[in-house]
Every structure is written in C-alpha cells, then in structure tokens.
C-alpha cells in the first residue's frame, strides 16, 4: 500500500500560484447507508481536492469484510478511480480525507495520511480531521509519557490516543471526551462499524455540512462535494455540535462542549472554499463578487480594464467591474494542463516560473491601464511577477486591488502560512508594499468592507468579531499555546 516518497515531486501538484498562496490543509467526507459508500467518498474527495492535493485516504466497513483502508499520495482521480483499489473498499459506511499538511511531516510520509484508525475494546473507529490542534505538542508529550505509541507525526493522531485513554463505554462518548481536551480548530468526520459521526469545534472555525442522498447520509467539508454525488444539502453542522448517524438512518445531535462565540474562518469566503459551495444560505461565488463590489467602492481607480488573477480572483474582479463600470476582461490566460506537463522540469524550464502557468493576453492589454484583482498578497512574489508580465506585454499602468485585508499574521487553525517575518504585510504598510512591488497602486479591502461583503451590514464587531480573522487582525480566537511556548508573540491587546 505504500508509495515511494520519491514518486511525488513537489511541482506535480502545483497550483499556478502555489508558491505565494495560503493553502488549506484538508477536506473530509463521510457516507453512511449507501451501497459501496467508498465510491461516493472518492467522488466527494475529488470535489474537495482543492483543499489538499498531497495525499488522500479512505477507510470503510463492511459487515462481512470488516474494516478496510487505502491511503495514497497524489490526486484522488489517479488513485481512487482504479478498480483494483476500489474493490478493496466495500461496505455501506466510509470516510475519507484529502490532505496538504500543516502539522506533522511536511512532504511524503504515508503514515501521516488520514483517516487514522484505532482498535478499541468496543470495536474499531476511524477519524478524519480538518483543522489544527493548537495544544497538540503538549498533548502528545503527555500521552507519550503515559505510554501512547504514536504511528505518525500528525497532530490529529492525538485524538485517537485520547479516545483510547477515555473510560467512556462507547466510541461516540470517547470521542466527545477526547475532543474536550483538544484546543484549536477541528471539523472531524469519524466512523465505527455502524455509525458515522461529525463534530465541529466550539468556534466552528472550519466548515462541515450535512447532506442527504436517498436513504443515506453524507458529511462533507463543503456543499460542492454533495453536488457531485447528487446529495441534497440539509444544513451546516453547528459550531460545537456533534452528530451521530446510525445505520438505521437516525441522526442524534448534541452540543457537548462549552458554548463559544462562532468564529468561522473568514478566509474560506475569500479563497479556500470553492465558489460553488454555500455557507449561511449564500454561495461563496456571490460573497466573492460582493467583495469586489466593496473593493471598488473603497478603492476606486481610473483604468481601462479589470482583470482577475485566475482563478480565485475572478468573482471579485466581476464585482469590481460591475460596481466601477470598468470593463471586465481576461487579461491572463491560465494553462490548465501545466501541472501534469512538466512533472520534473529542468532548471531552465523551472526558471520560467509563473510564465509556464499563466500568460498575459497581449493583444488585449497593450497600452491599457489595467486593474488586477487578486484574492490575497502573502509574500508578494507572485504579485511582482504578474506585474512584470503585464509591463513586458505593454500595459500602460498596473493597479492591484486585493480581495482581502493585508495578511500580516500566520494561521494556526489548519492553513499553511509562512512564518510571520515572511508575510509582506507583517513588515510593511500598504504604501511600502506598493513601493516595494513597484506597481502603480496597491489597495486592499478593509476588514469592515470584508465583513460587509460576507453579509454583516454593520461591518466587524470590534468587541467580538463575528468570524475568525486572525491572519488579518492578529486577534486569535483560540490561544495558540504550542506556538506561544515556542516563542510566538501575539499582538498586544489595545
Ligand atoms: S487565521 Fe485566517 S486563515 Fe486561519 S482560520 Fe482564521 S481567518 Fe482562517
């Protein structure tokens, strides 16, 4: 079942702008009550591939065959479409996981690939976790000192060991017990022989939705993955909620944790989630378009064209164009096949960098004043390259409008961010970034503007922000205790 780490060169999975984007870490999906549930899970994971491209795994249970699992590096479509793999995953209940990696080993270690499985006295259980446990180092130390033997370097494995140490009589109660010890962000999908479980942390930082397909039930990180299998979106799992779905189709809901203010990740709206997913009854696409509208109101500029930086800047660019009246145009054309063409590029090809993946539409932009709409600026390296491509192609002016506030703080809740010093906005003001990147203008949406765009008409509640926005504000809803132990300094309270 193992795959050689050498078989997955880092360039293989590269998104065109991967070197300068925050990366979502995981997607989770689970099904109960459908024949060959693993096939539905594979499709769901395929729809969630944008949340993690490094590896994927499925665990399933069949009354005759017991538990089975498969974990693979690479895309879901390259692994979980093969008959040789899927026929080993029978049964009416299955969960799956796609992964990039935050906690745990960076890169290729098959034992870090979820779902994780544990055999308890009352039967087996598997879990798949999206998020990041902010006290995992302390928990792991404690567990190891008490005799736990870890198989992986993933923070998520702590949950299995905490379950093993719990004295509760059944697995859902053990999971509750375990998750009470866990701090940070978690959306967990788990299974026993007969039950599918879904849990969101008390702040609800990462998403999790419930869907229905025929007699079966589905749990998914995003609603777009329900669509691919024809399931109906029933509702979002609430922050702090645990649902236990039985083989007979009954759904038990409980709220086992101390209630906390909701802090859904606002960056899911900006970038991580697919635009065809739905949160709070509104599509992510519509929210992103509205971000563009707010951006145009806050930061108008005289120009000839509004162009998206593909693909995530597209809805905001459309909104910007609609609000400003400046024509929308595809100034950048993306090569859809790049990732699979040059699996191991030579040095000379690698030096072409972003040009391999994106090309400026020269005939369109020559002599034009262009507004480029992008979702974020992280290190700024891509912004600079794109600006150079536009100037080389003859653009008269290049203005950047960014659909998120300056990213000045790292995320500790399941998103891969560079260290704080490497974030451009951590060390420079907006004007300094503009000078540094040598663009004609650079403006970000304000935090209040972003909150208005996601449906908070009054903007951000400064006393108790309605979302997690720590990567912009430095206000962490859950203290990142491991990081503080390692020397991370949080923003001083005003
Ligand atoms: S810090 Fe940023 S990316 Fe991380 S959960 Fe909060 S809003 Fe999302």
Best residue for ligand 1 mutational test, from 186, 205, 284 (most atoms within 8 Å of Cβ)? 205
Ligand 1 pocket, residue 412 CB under 6 Å: no
Q: Which helix (H) or strand (E) holds 400?
A: strand 397-402
Q: Which atom of ligand 1 sits closest to the CA of residue 469?
A: 7
Ligand 1 pocket, residue 103 CB under 6 Å: no
- Does 201 have pLDDT greater than 50? yes
pLDDT (average), residues 45-57? 95
Q: Which helix (H) or strand (E) holds 116?
A: strand 116-120
pLDDT (average), residues 76-95? 96
Nearest to 256 by CA among 241, 266, 270: 241
Residue 408's contacts (CB-CB under 8 Å, 6 or more residues apart) are 420, 423, 425, 426, 471, 472, 474
- Does 4 have pLDDT greater than 50? no
pLDDT of residue 356: 72
Ligand 1 pocket, residue 93 CB under 6 Å: no
What separation in Å is there between the alpha carbon of 266 and the centre of ligand 1? 7
Positive or negative: CA dihedral 372, 378, 382, 388: positive
Helix and strand tally (H, E) in the chain?
Answer: 19, 25
Paired tokens of 250: 């009954």
Average pLDDT, the chain: 90
pLDDT of residue 342: 45
* Band of residue 61 on the pLDDT scale cut at 50, 70, 90: very high
* Band of residue 352 on the pLDDT scale cut at 50, 70, 90: low
Ligand 1 pocket, residue 468 CB under 6 Å: yes
Paired tokens of 243: 């649902």
Positive or negative: CA dihedral 443, 449, 450, 454: negative
Residue 383's contacts (CB-CB under 8 Å, 6 or more residues apart) are 20, 374, 377, 400, 437, 439, 442
**Residue 369 exposed, middle or buried by CB count within 10 Å (0-12, 13-18, 19+):** middle
pLDDT in tens, 389-408: 999 999 999 999 999 999 99
| Long-range contacts from 463-469, C-beta under 8 angstroms, 24+ separation | 464/261, 465/263, 466/262, 467/262, 467/263, 467/264, 467/265, 467/266, 468/203, 468/205, 468/263, 468/264, 468/265, 468/266, 468/413, 469/266, 469/405
Q: Which fold has domain 18-265?
A: 3.60.20
Q: Which fold has domain 286-456?
A: Rossmann fold (3.40.50)
Positive or negative: CA dihedral 438, 395, 270, 333: negative
State yes or no: is 411 an active-site residue.
Answer: no
- Does 451 have pLDDT greater than 80? yes
Best residue for ligand 1 mutational test, from 134, 418, 451, 470 (most atoms within 8 Å of Cβ)? 470
Report how far apart, in Å, the C-alpha atoms of 381 and of each of 203, 387, 403, 422, 471 are.
33, 10, 17, 11, 19
Residue 165's contacts (CB-CB under 8 Å, 6 or more residues apart) are 143, 146, 148
Domain extents in the chain = 18-265, 286-456
Strand partners, 32: 93, 217
């Amino acid at each position: 079942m193992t795959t050689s780490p050498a078989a997955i060169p880092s360039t293989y999975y590269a998104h065109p702008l991967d070197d300068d984007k925050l990366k979502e870490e995981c997607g989770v999906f689970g099904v109960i009550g459908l024949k060959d549930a693993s096939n539905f899970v594979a499709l769901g994971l395929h729809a969630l591939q944008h949340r993690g491209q490094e590896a994927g795994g499925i665990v399933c249970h069949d009354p005759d065959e017991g538990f089975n699992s498969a974990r693979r590096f690479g895309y879901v479509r390259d692994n979980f479409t093969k008959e040789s793999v899927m026929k080993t995953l029978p049964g009416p209940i299955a969960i799956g996981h796609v992964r990039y990696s935050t906690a745990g080993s960076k890169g290729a270690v098959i034992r870090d690939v979820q779902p994780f499985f544990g055999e308890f006295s009352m039967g087996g259980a598997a879990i798949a976790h999206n998020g990041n446990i902010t006290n995992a180092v302390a928990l792991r130390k404690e567990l190891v000192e008490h005799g736990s033997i870890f198989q992986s370097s993933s923070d998520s494995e702590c949950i299995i060991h905490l379950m093993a140490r719990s004295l509760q009589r059944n697995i859902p109660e053990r999971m509750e017990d375990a998750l009470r010890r866990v701090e940070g962000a978690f959306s967990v999908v788990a299974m026993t022989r007969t039950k599918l479980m879904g849990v969101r942390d008390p702040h609800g930082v990462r998403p999790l939705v419930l869907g229905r397909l025929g007699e079966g039930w589905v749990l998914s990180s995003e609603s777009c993955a329900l669509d691919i299998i024809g399931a109906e979106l029933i509702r979002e799992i609430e922050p702090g909620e645990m649902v236990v779905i039985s083989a007979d189709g009954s759904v038990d809901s409980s709220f086992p944790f101390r209630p906390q203010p909701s802090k859904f990740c606002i960056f899911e709206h900006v970038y991580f989630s697919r635009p065809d997913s739905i949160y709070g009854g509104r599509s992510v696409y519509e929210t992103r378009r509205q971000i563009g509208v707010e951006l145009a109101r806050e930061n108008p500029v005289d120009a000839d064209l509004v162009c998206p930086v593909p693909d995530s800047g597209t809805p905001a660019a459309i909104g910007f164009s609609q609000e400003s009246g400046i024509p929308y145009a595809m100034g950048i054309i993306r090569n859809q096949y790049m990732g699979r063409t040059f699996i191991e590029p030579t040095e000379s090809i690698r030096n072409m960098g972003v040009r391999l993946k994106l090309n400026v539409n020269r005939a369109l932009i020559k002599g034009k004043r262009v507004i480029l709409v992008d979702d974020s600026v992280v290190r700024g390296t891509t912004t600079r390259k794109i600006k150079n491509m536009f100037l080389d192609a003859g653009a008269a002016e290049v203005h950047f409008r960014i659909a998120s506030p300056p990213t000045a703080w790292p995320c500790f809740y399941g998103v891969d961010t560079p260290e704080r010093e490497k974030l451009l906005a951590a060390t420079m003001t907006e004007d300094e970034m503009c000078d540094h990147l040598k663009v004609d203008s650079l403006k970000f949406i304000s935090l209040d503007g972003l909150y208005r765009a996601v449906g908070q008409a009054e903007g951000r509640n400064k006393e108790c922000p309605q979302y997690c926005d720590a990567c912009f504000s430095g206000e962490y809803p859950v203290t990142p205790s491991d990081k503080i132990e390692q020397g991370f300094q949080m923003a001083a309270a005003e």
